[in-house]
Structure formats: C-alpha cells, structure tokens
Amino acid sequence: MVDILTDDHREMVELLGEVQRTADASRRRALTDTVIAEVMRHAVAEERYVYPAVEEKVPDGPRKVAHDKEEHQEIVELMKAIEDLDAAGPEFMERVKELDAELRHHAHDEETRQFPELRAHLSTDELSALGSKVEMAKKLAPTRPHPNAPHSELFHKTLGPGVGLVDRLRDALTGRHTG
C-alpha cells in the first residue's frame, strides 16, 4: 500500500514539473487535467480506505485524519481555481506553483509521518489488503490520458477537460450523481 501511494506522489510531482516546463498552452492544459485526475483518484482512494485505517489504528488517528482531510480540501479548492483559468494566462502558472508546493508538503507529511505509523500499527496482511483496495479503487476510476498522449479520446469522452472537472471527477469516483 505504501509503495503504491508513494509512486502516485512521485508521478504527481513529475507531471507538475512537466506542466511548468511546457510552453504550449494546450499541452499545459492537458497535462494539468491529467494531474487533477490523478490527484482526485488518489485522494478519493485515500479517504475511502487509508484514512479510516489511520482513524481506527493509529494513536490520535481522528485528529491526524482531520488535518489530512483539510489539506485535501485546500488542494481540491486550488485545482478548482486552476480548472477555471486560461492555461495561456498569467495566473495559471502561479496557481500551478502553489499546487506543486501544497502537494509536495502533503505528500511529505504522509510519507514521513502517516506511512511509518501505519506500518507500525497495522499487520503486513492488513497493509497488503489495503493495498489491494486502493489498487481496485484506482482501476474503477475513469481512464486518464497518458501524459504523452494528452488528448486521450476516452478520457475526454468520459469527462471532458476544464471547467467542472474536479466535481465531475469526484462524482464519477465516488459513484455520486448530480442532476
């Protein structure tokens, strides 16, 4: 479980780095939508499977999870701001940099604090069962475009890029349907 989530963190940070190195606005938009989709898949899987285990098994778990969920919410708000912005405009990259910083901070917290605590308080079997659930949750999630094929037809047919993406992803991921 720890390996899967740590790999996700690396991938998000790498993709955001690529966004910041990309001059072409439409490719930047597509890469950013890919990051947003990745982050939502990851966050929904964590909140559904990993955080409840922290609440139950880790000392002071509920308080720690409340903090982590607050950070998720900040990240979600930032992604919502980004989805509304023109990828060619001046504010876009500033917001992307903020997202980069928040994601690194949150991932670092989890890797240095939460994961070692889970390792300490869950059995190997419990950890690998959690890993399978996280994997499954990610497979059920809508297809995302591969970073090198940013205009993946399936992804955009399923969800479409841009405005409302965060909410639509969350609905698709949680099986919640809005009007």
Smallest distance, Fe ion to C-beta of residue 125, A: 22
Q: Which is nearer to Fe ion, 102 or 171 (CB)?
A: 102
Pick between residue 38 and residue 46 the one whose CB is nearest to Fe ion.
46
Minimum Å gap between C-beta 156 and Fe ion is 26
Smallest gap from residue 138 Cβ to Fe ion (A): 12
Instruction: Kindly list the residues in this chain that would bind Fe ion in the complex (CB under 5 A).
Output: 46, 110
As measured in angstroms, the least distance from the Cβ of 140 to Fe ion is: 18
Q: Tell the smallest beta-carbon distance from residue 106 to Fe ion (Å).
A: 6
Alpha helices for the chain (secondary structure H): 2-21, 25-45, 51-57, 61-84, 90-109, 115-121, 124-140, 153-158, 165-174
CB nearer Fe ion, residue 112 or residue 178:
112
Q: Which is nearer to Fe ion, 46 or 83 (CB)?
A: 46
CA-based end-to-end distance of the chain: 35
Tokens of 73: 């919410």
Residue placing its CB nearer to Fe ion in the complex, 28 or 144: 144
Non-local CB neighbours of 12 within 8 Å, separated by 6+ positions? 35, 38, 39, 42, 103, 107
C-alpha span between 83 and 173 (Å, rounded): 18
Alpha-carbon span 119 to 58, nearest angstrom: 10
Cα torsion 54, 55, 56, 57 to 10°: value is 40
